[in-house]
């Protein structure tokens, strides 16, 4: 393995630091939770996760955390992702590929409009907090 220069190490540290900040939950109210169970990973959950991180970075969204969880029990619609935005019902999206992940960030997170054709589950109107 080639040795890294001091400058390369600094760049790596800075990129890892911003990556860690995007995964830090403290004080963040919007949560994107990606199902990373076996079937989720097999269906491409890692690409969805990376796409969420890229879109959050591209839009400079500071109040959003991306987390991983295990199996959500929805094999048929993997990759599955739960999105929690203050003032909106919690939504579980299915079949979230990289393009859909980007769409969720742009529509649901930024413009507060759900991505209707990928909703797998959301609470009924009368039980929304
Ligand atoms: S492993 Fe597929 S739903 Fe749990």
Domain boundaries, the chain: 28-122
State the pLDDT at residue 57. 92
Residues with a CB atom less than 6 Å from ligand 1: 37-39, 71, 73-75
**0.75 cut: is pTM over it?**
yes
Average pLDDT over residues 46-69: 94
CA of 31 to the centre of ligand 1 (A): 21
Average pLDDT over residues 94-119: 97
* pLDDT over 70 (residue 127): no
Q: For the chain, what is the mean pLDDT?
A: 89
State the pLDDT at residue 125. 62
CA of 37 to the centre of ligand 1 (A): 6
How many other C-beta atoms can be found within 10 angstroms of the C-beta atom of residue 22? 16
Q: Does the 28-122 domain belong in CATH 3.40.30.10?
A: yes
Q: CA distances (Å), 40 to each of 36, 92, 106, 119, in order?
A: 5, 14, 22, 16
Average pLDDT over residues 61-87: 92
Tell which atom from ligand 1 comes closest to the C-alpha of 74. Answer: 3
CA of 36 to the centre of ligand 1 (A): 9
Tell which atom from ligand 1 comes closest to the C-alpha of 70. Answer: 4
State the pLDDT at residue 64. 93
Nearest alpha carbon, ligand 1 atom 1: 39
Dihedral of CA atoms 35, 37, 125, 114 in degrees, nearest 10, equals 30
State the pLDDT at residue 1. 66
Q: Are 50 and 58 in contact (CB under 8 A)?
A: no
Task: Return d(Cα 118, Cα 111) in angstroms, integer.
Answer: 16
Q: Are 43 and 77 in contact (CB under 8 A)?
A: no
How many other C-beta atoms can be found within 10 angstroms of the C-beta atom of residue 114? 17
State the pLDDT at residue 23. 66
């Amino acid at each position: 393995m080639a040795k890294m220069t001091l400058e390369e190490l600094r760049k790596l540290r800075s990129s890892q630091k911003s990556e860690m900040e995007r995964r830090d939950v403290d004080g963040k109210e919007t949560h994107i939770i990606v199902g990373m169970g076996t079937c989720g990973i097999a269906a491409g959950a890692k690409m969805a996760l990376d796409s969420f991180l890229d879109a959050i970075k591209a839009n400079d969204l500071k109040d959003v955390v991306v987390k991983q969880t295990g199996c959500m029990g929805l094999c048929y619609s993997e990759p599955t992702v739960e999105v929690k935005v203050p003032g909106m019902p919690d939504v579980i999206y299915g079949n979230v590929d990289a393009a859909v992940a980007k769409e969720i960030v742009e529509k649901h997170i930024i413009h507060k409009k759900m991505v209707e054709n990928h909703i797998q589950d959301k609470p009924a109107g009368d039980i929304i907090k």
